[in-house]
Chain A
Amino acid sequence: MAGRYKSDLNWSDVTPKDVWLNRRKLMAGVGAVALGSIAGPVAASLNARKTAYGEGLEPNTWDEITSYNNFYEFGTGKDDPLRYAGELTTEPWTIEIGGLVDRPGSYGLEDILKDVTLEERIYRLRCVERWAMVVPWVGFELADLLDRVGVQPSAKYVAFETALRPEEMRGVRFPVIEWPYKEGLRLDEAMHPLTILATGLYDEPMPNQNGAPIRVVVPWKYGYKSIKSIVKITLVEEQPPTAWNEYSAHEYGFYSNVNPERDHPRWSQKYERRVGGGLFAKQTPTAKFNGYGDEVAHLYAGMDLIVNH
């Protein structure tokens, strides 16, 4: 069951209800307008359970979150996913869960969702390209699903795969990277309560360009670790190959924790810039583990995070 995560925030940190109700109304309005223009009929709200987690963070707008995406399956331009991800069929959706699990099989998305409580998790998102956002995800802990399928003791890593459908994903017709997109987490990272499978944002079903219908969100790692539109989850003993690491290992490590101390060959990671600040947006210092160090630093005790970048 979700909700193992304990935050250090008090009730005094929570925004008063009338304030957030107002804010939500405003957001819902923005979302509805955006959805209406992109996806046709406005989808039903998910009624995700509110959590104290992420309060105090001001989320980016619906438009910002859904118009500036890296989802190369639909093209390498930032607005390509907004334009072309609608071509992806997300219903029905099944995930092939296998490897070192007690109950392998093909799981329908409705089947996966019927046993979980959806929560809102407002997380910082940091891209390796140095831009950042705050996103009010809706989802459940990955650990819930892993517990349900029964992880065998010999499993050490979790491997994920994105759908590969050339007829619906125009970007995969060109070998930008090796398709299908693959990602992976160490088992303890995957079981961490901050790691979620997200099915929506702003209490609305996940827009296709953000990884519909279901995606990983690991907030302390660079965005490319949070794999989208997942069709396969495999529990394995060895560290699995991952897409960007295969493309260029010295640039993109397996761990890819947000780390201002590790100098990326393409972008200095010392600073970042929040999306939505316009032409004169200031750069701000990058926080190690994207600000989630208190929660996750212990996972890497004794490890050299420059070598294991």
Chain B
Amino acid sequence: MPGRPSPDQGLAPVSVVKRANRAIGLVPPLAIYVLAVLPPVWFLWQAQTGRLGVEPIKALEHELGELALQVLIATLAVRPVNKWTGINFLKLRRAFGVVTFFYVLLHLLVWLVLDVQFLDQIWADIVKRPYITVGMGAFALMIPLALTSNNLSLRKLGPIRWRRLHRLMYPVVLLGAIHFVMLSKGFQLEPYVYLGVIIALLATRIRWGEWRAALAGSAS
């Protein structure tokens, strides 16, 4: 059965997997939300006390954006980690997703309120600067996901439609990485590392067997 390897499969020793899963089982999603508040508070305190350098606005914006990408990658990694090691974070995945949205929102707010400041400039930036258009696109796609990340929505939509809607995460994460690549000046390594990791994680989603079958079918 996909996602639930038998105990003798996987890359990690069985005892480790069991213990890890028991520990994860003890973590309530609420704990993730509480812990998630700490990094932004930490960054804000650093920015306010000069620990992010003499231009804290840009630094804060960058830290929050990168943090959002990291949690986005963690969210995306839940499925393959489960597949390959048996360690199962699925229970916390929705919390990871909501936390990502929270960080993206903060990143956006720092950009709007502290960085650009003027409404006409904000709109001009969104329309004219491709890397901002891409970033805003990713944010817009996340809104329905954040709004439906609750049990009521899951029940109303039904698991199949809900899951289909939440596949929007794939374009979101790709747009996020492209946003980072585009905004970097010159040819820099870091954003490409993020893009590479994200493409690799997305590739684990592709059902190559079905693709091959479909291709073979259309060829005949």
Interface residues of B in 102-118 (CB under 8 A from A): 114, 116-118
CB distance from A225 to the nearest CB of B (A): 15
Check A78–B118 contact: CB distance below 8 A.
Answer: no
- Chain A contact surface mostly: loop
Docked CA distance A93–B47 (Å): 39
Chain A 182-225 interface mask (CB, 8 Å, partner B; 1/0) = 00000000000000000000000000000000000000000000
Check A268–B124 contact: CB distance below 8 A.
Answer: yes
CB-nearest residue of chain B to A243: B186
User: A268-B125, A279-B60, A280-B114 given as contacts; is B53 within 8 A of A76 (CB)?
Assistant: no
Of the residues A79, A176, A273, contact of B53 by C-beta under 8 Å: A79
Write out the residue numbers on chain B whose beta carbons fall within 8 Å of the beta carbon of A165.
none
Write out the residue numbers on chain A whose beta carbons fall within 8 Å of the beta carbon of B54.
63-64, 67-68, 275-276
The yes or no answer to B129 lying at the interface (CB within 8 A) is yes
- Chain B contact surface mostly: helix
Docked CA distance A279–B184 (Å): 22
Docked CA distance A267–B111 (Å): 13
Of the residues B56, B131, B186, B187, contact of A279 by C-beta under 8 Å: B56
Please count the residue pairs between chain A and chain B whose beta carbons lie under 8 angstroms apart in the complex. Answer: 67
Interface residues of A in 146-176 (CB under 8 A from B): 174-176
The yes or no answer to A89 lying at the interface (CB within 8 A) is no
Write out the residue numbers on chain A whose beta carbons fall within 8 Å of the beta carbon of B187.
174-177
The yes or no answer to B167 lying at the interface (CB within 8 A) is no
The yes or no answer to A16 lying at the interface (CB within 8 A) is no
The yes or no answer to A72 lying at the interface (CB within 8 A) is yes
CB-nearest residue of chain B to A60: B54
CB-nearest residue of chain A to B52: A279
Chain A 65-97 interface mask (CB, 8 Å, partner B; 1/0) = 001100010001011000000000000000000
Write out the residue numbers on chain B whose beta carbons fall within 8 Å of the beta carbon of A64.
54
CB distance from B121 to the nearest CB of A (A): 6
Write out the residue numbers on chain A whose beta carbons fall within 8 Å of the beta carbon of B130.
265
Docked CA distance A76–B60 (Å): 17
Docked CA distance A174–B186 (Å): 11
Count of residues in B whose CB is under 8 Å from the partner chain: 28
Write out the residue numbers on chain A whose beta carbons fall within 8 Å of the beta carbon of B70.
none
Interface residues of A in 260-278 (CB under 8 A from B): 263, 265-268, 270-271, 273, 275-276, 278
Check B125–A279 contact: CB distance below 8 A.
Answer: no
Check B114–A76 contact: CB distance below 8 A.
Answer: no
CB distance from A105 to the nearest CB of B (A): 33
Write out the residue numbers on chain A whose beta carbons fall within 8 Å of the beta carbon of B155.
none
The yes or no answer to B128 lying at the interface (CB within 8 A) is yes
Docked CA distance A175–B187 (Å): 7
Write out the residue numbers on chain B whose beta carbons fall within 8 Å of the beta carbon of A78.
53, 55, 59
Docked CA distance A280–B55 (Å): 10
Write out the residue numbers on chain B whose beta carbons fall within 8 Å of the beta carbon of A67.
53-54
Check A279–B47 contact: CB distance below 8 A.
Answer: yes
Interface residues of B in 80-130 (CB under 8 A from A): 114, 116-118, 121, 124-125, 128-130
The yes or no answer to B188 lying at the interface (CB within 8 A) is yes
The yes or no answer to A281 lying at the interface (CB within 8 A) is yes
The yes or no answer to A53 lying at the interface (CB within 8 A) is no
CB distance from A262 to the nearest CB of B (A): 13
CB distance from A238 to the nearest CB of B (A): 25
User: A76-B186, A174-B189, A177-B187 given as contacts; is B118 within 8 A of A283 (CB)?
Assistant: yes
Q: Known pairs A67-B53, A78-B53, A174-B187. 20 more at Cβ < 8 A?
A: A67-B54, A68-B53, A68-B54, A72-B186, A129-B185, A176-B186, A177-B186, A247-B186, A266-B183, A267-B129, A275-B54, A276-B54, A278-B48, A279-B47, A279-B60, A279-B114, A280-B114, A283-B116, A283-B117, A283-B118
* A interface residues with partner B (beta carbon < 8 Å): 63-64, 67-68, 72, 76, 78-79, 129, 131, 174-177, 247, 263, 265-268, 270-271, 273, 275-276, 278-283
* B interface residues with partner A (beta carbon < 8 Å): 47-48, 53-60, 114, 116-118, 121, 124-125, 128-131, 183-189
In order of increasing CB-CB distance, the 3 nearest A-B pairs are A176-B186, A64-B54, A177-B186
Question: What are 21 of the A-B contact pairs (CB < 8 Å)?
Answer: A68-B53, A68-B54, A76-B185, A78-B53, A78-B55, A79-B53, A129-B185, A176-B187, A177-B186, A247-B186, A266-B131, A268-B121, A268-B129, A273-B57, A275-B55, A276-B55, A278-B56, A279-B60, A280-B114, A282-B117, A283-B118
